C-alpha cells in the first residue's frame, strides 16, 4: 500500500484567535507560520517514506481554514525542498478553470518536478467561490445529491475533462462541445493569423487549413509523464462517480467508509474497469481517505480526534453534506436517499465517524488492526488497497503534537503496510 498525506492547509490558530484576528486568512504573519508548517511537514514526509502530499484548491477562506488558493505554486516551492515526495491537488476544480490553462500549468509543473506530480480533478461543491470563479460556465457549487445543480456541474466537468486530456495528449486538435470550443469561433476558424507561414513550416501538422485559417491548436508543453500525470478523483461517495473513474483510468479516493459499503465500491471499480479492458486486482487503482489519531491510550487519542478533526467537521464541513458518507445500517429508513434526506446535525457525532471506520482512533496497536483490515478492502477476496490517504489536521493542533503524530505513523504504520 502507498501512503498519501492530505492537508488543507490551514492558518494555525484557536477559535478565539480567529475571532480576534479576523479575517485571519489575510494575516501576513499567520500565513507565514502556515507556510513554515506545510514546508516542515513536506520535508518530514519526504524523509519518512510517504509517497504523496496533497492539498485542496479553495478560495475566499477568510476564516483561515483551507487557505489553499494556489496549490500548483505551493508545490513548486515544496518540490524544491524535497527529493522524492510527489504532489497532487485533491483537487483542482475544473469548472473554475479554463481547461487549457489547467493543462498547460500542470504540464509545466510536471516538468519542474521531474514527474513528481499527479493531478486530482473535481467538480466543486462550495458555492461561495465556485459560483464566482465558475460563472463563465454557469456552474454552482453543489453537493453530490443528484440535484439539477449537481447534474449541471457534472456535465461541465466531464466535457472539460475531455478538453484537458486532448491538450495533454494530442499534438493538434479541435473541440466543439456544449460549453467549450476550439478554435473560437469553431465554425469559421481563426482567420487573422499573420504568422501563418511560420506555423505552416514549423508548427504542428493540421493547425492550418489550405487557406491559412487556424483550424486546430497545439498546446505546449506536453507533460513530462506520458501520456499525462496520473489522475485522481476526490472524494468519492457514489457508484456513479466510481464507474466514471473506472472507465477513465482515474484513481478515486473513496470517502464512504462503512466496511460493506466500501467493499461494494471496490468491487464495482474492479468490475467496471474490467469491462473497459483494465484487468485489475481488487483494490488496485483505488484509494481511501481516513483520519488517524494516535494516543498512549484510547481516551487520549479520542480527545485529540474530538478537538481537531471532529470539531472541524461539526463546525465547518457538515453543512456541505460530508456526514452522509458515513451512513450506518438503519439510517436510510430514517433519512431516505430518495428523496434525499441528509443526516441531521443530531447525528453528527465522533462515535459515528469511528463506527463507520472513517476515523481510526486509538493506540498504535489499535490503528494497526484497523489499517490491516482496510488494506484487504474489508473482505477475504484477496484485496490489496493501493492508496491510503491520511487526512492530517495541520493547523488544528500544536506543531509538537503534529510532529509526534507523523513520527508514530512513520515508525509503526509505513514499515508494516507500505510497499
359-390 per-position pLDDT tens digit? 999 999 999 999 999 999 999 999 999 999 99
Residue 173 DSSP code: B
Residue 401 DSSP code: H
Strands of 255-351 (E only): list them. 287-294
Asked if residue 214 lies in contact with residue 208, where contact means CB atoms within 8 angstroms, the answer is: yes
Q: How many residues does this entry show for the chain?
A: 419
Question: pLDDT 10s per residue in the chain (419 long)?
Answer: 999 999 999 999 988 999 999 999 999 999 999 999 999 999 999 999 999 999 999 999 999 999 999 999 999 999 999 999 999 999 999 999 999 999 999 999 999 999 999 999 999 999 999 999 999 999 999 877 778 888 999 999 999 999 999 999 999 999 999 999 999 999 999 999 999 999 999 999 999 999 999 999 999 999 999 999 999 998 878 899 999 999 999 999 999 999 999 999 999 999 999 999 999 999 999 999 999 999 999 999 999 999 999 999 999 999 999 999 999 999 999 999 888 899 999 999 999 999 999 999 999 999 999 999 999 999 999 999 999 999 999 999 999 999 999 999 999 999 999 98
C-alpha cell at 314: 461539526
Measured distance CA(188)–CA(4) in Å, rounded: 47
Q: Using alpha carbons only, how large is the chain's radius of gyration in Å?
A: 22
Asked if residue 286 lies in contact with residue 315, where contact means CB atoms within 8 angstroms, the answer is: no
Asked if residue 127 lies in contact with residue 139, where contact means CB atoms within 8 angstroms, the answer is: no
Angle (CA) 128 133 136, round 5°:
125
Residue 345 DSSP code: G
Measured distance CA(116)–CA(57) in Å, rounded: 18
Give the helix/strand (H/E) hosting 360.
Answer: strand 359-362
3-state secondary structure of 77: helix
Hey, what domains does the chain have and what are their CATH numbers? Answer: 2-90+230-417 (3.20.20.30), 172-217 (no CATH)
Asked if residue 157 lies in contact with residue 91, where contact means CB atoms within 8 angstroms, the answer is: no
Amino acid at each position: 500500500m502507498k501512503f498519501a498525506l492530505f492537508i488543507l492547509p490551514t492558518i494555525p490558530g484557536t477559535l478565539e484567535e480567529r475571532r480576534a484576528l479576523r479575517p485571519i486568512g489575510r494575516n501576513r504573519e499567520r500565513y507565514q507560520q502556515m507556510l513554515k508548517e506545510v514546508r516542515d511537514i513536506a520535508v518530514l514526509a519526504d524523509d519518512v517514506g510517504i509517497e504523496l502530499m496533497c492539498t485542496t484548491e479553495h478560495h475566499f477562506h477568510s476564516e483561515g481554514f483551507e487557505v489553499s488558493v494556489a496549490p500548483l505554486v505551493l508545490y513548486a516551492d515544496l518540490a524544491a525542498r524535497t527529493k522524492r515526495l510527489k504532489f497532487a491537488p485533491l483537487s483542482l476544480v475544473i469548472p473554475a478553470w479554463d481547461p487549457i490553462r489547467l493543462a498547460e500549468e500542470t504540464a509545466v509543473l510536471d516538468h519542474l518536478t521531474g514527474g513528481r506530480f499527479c493531478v486530482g480533478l473535481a467538480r466543486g461543491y462550495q458555492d461561495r467561490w465556485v459560483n464566482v470563479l465558475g460563472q463563465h460556465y454557469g456552474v454552482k457549487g453543489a453537493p453530490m445529491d443528484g440535484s439539477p445543480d449537481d447534474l449541471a456541474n457534472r456535465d461541465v466537468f466531464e466535457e472539460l475533462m475531455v478538453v484537458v486530456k486532448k491538450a495533454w495528449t494530442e499534438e493538434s486538435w479541435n473541440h466543439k462541445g456544449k460549453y467549450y470550443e476550439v478554435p473560437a469561433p469553431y465554425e469559421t476558424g481563426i482567420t487573422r493569423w499573420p504568422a501563418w507561414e511560420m506555423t505552416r513550416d514549423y508548427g504542428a501538422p493540421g493547425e492550418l487549413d489550405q487557406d491559412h485559417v487556424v483550424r486546430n491548436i497545439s498546446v505546449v508543453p506536453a507533460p513530462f509523464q506520458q501520456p499525462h500525470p496520473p489522475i485522481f478523483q476526490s472524494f468519492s461517495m457514489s457508484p456513479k462517480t466510481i464507474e466514471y473513474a473506472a472507465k477513465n483510468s482515474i484513481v478515486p479516493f473513496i470517502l464512504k467508509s462503512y466496511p460493506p459499503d466500501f467493499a461494494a465500491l471496490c468491487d464495482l471499480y474492479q468490475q467496471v474497469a474490467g469491462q473497459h479492458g483494465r484487468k485489475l486486482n481488487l483494490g488496485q487503482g483505488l484509494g481511501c481517505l481516513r483520519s488517524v489519531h494516535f494516543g498512549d491510550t484510547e481516551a487520549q487519542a479520542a480527545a485529540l480526534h474530538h478537538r481537531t478533526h471532529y470539531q472541524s467537521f461539526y463546525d465547518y464541513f457538515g453543512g456541505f453534506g460530508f456526514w452522509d458518507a458515513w451512513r450506518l445500517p438503519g439510517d436510510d429508513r430514517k433519512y431516505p436517499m430518495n428523496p434525499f434526506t441528509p443526516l441531521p446535525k443530531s447525528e453528527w457525532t465522533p462515535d459515528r465517524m469511528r463506527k463507520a471506520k472513517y476515523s481510526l482512533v486509538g493506540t498504535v496497536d489499535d490503528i494497526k488492526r484497523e489499517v490491516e483490515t482496510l488494506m484487504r478492502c474489508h473482505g477475504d477476496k484477496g484485496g490489496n488497497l493501493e492508496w491510503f490517504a491520511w487526512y492530517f489536521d495541520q493547523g488544528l493542533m500544536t506543531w509538537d503534537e503534529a510532529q509526534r503524530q507523523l513520527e508514530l505513523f512513520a515508525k509503526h504504520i509505513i514499515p508494516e503496510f507500505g510497499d
